[in-house]
Amino acid sequence: MPAKAAAAPEESEIRRRRRTQAILEALKSRYPDPQIPLHHRCPFELLVATILSAQCTDETVNRVTPELFRRFPTPETLARADLGEVEELIRPTGFYRQKARAIVECSRRLVKDHGGQVPPDMEALVSLPGVGRKTANVLFAAAEIERWPGWPHDRSRPDGTGIVVDTHVTRLSRRLNLTEHLEPDRIEQDLMRLLPPEEWSRFSLRLIYFGREVCTARSPRCGSCPLRQWCPSAAYAGSPPWMAARRTAARRTRQSR
């Protein structure tokens, strides 16, 4: 009989909240003023850039978007764009045919339904072609950090906004044992429960920066990690057995469907 896979360390909700607060303070000290890494000058540009960033690095998106926005600076111009021309401009981002259709269709909907403006509303955003909850949360985070006019600048009201969960946030949240889930929506709910709303926007950005610099996917620097004392994965060089067991279980579930 195979050995039973190790489970994630158990801890009380109070202890996990205290540990999360310590992690938060360490990240705030390291990244006091995190900014959105996708280059943009307005909500429309960030919306398009975020759609293009799926399965692609921010650096590649930032190389592509200047020429894209030079040719199509507004939703109105992108809505009328030739699809083949858009595909060629965004080809380096991968999945360029699907992405080209998404940003052109999204622009058409912005023109048709929202007067060419990006709506500051979660329900309206996720109804746009190519826009999911992660993309919408990126926009709300930028609105808060950059103080966009007409957008909410705090999380004091229940407007449906939350925390951006990308691959870095997923990996670090699980390594830090802030969640046991793989699904972005469930990870988001766990993090929202542990963090005060005013920290949601910047916490995800700080995790993203930290995931690129220290807690990388293949070679995490656990020996010199400033979060080591609060990270149960440090003893396993960033590859704890409970993460491997969860991935295997998820893979088997998908294969059985």
CA distance 57 to 38: 10
**Within 10 A of 111 (CB to CB), how many other CB atoms are there?**
18
Q: Give, in order, the Cα–Cα distances in Å from 86 to each of 38, 77, 93.
A: 19, 11, 12
CA distance 104 to 89: 13
Instruction: Please name the residue that has the structure tokens 């746009």.
Output: 128
CA distance 212 to 168: 8
- Catalytically annotated residues: 134, 166
CA neighbor of 210 nearest in space, from 40, 17, 23, 72: 23
CA distance 75 to 12: 49
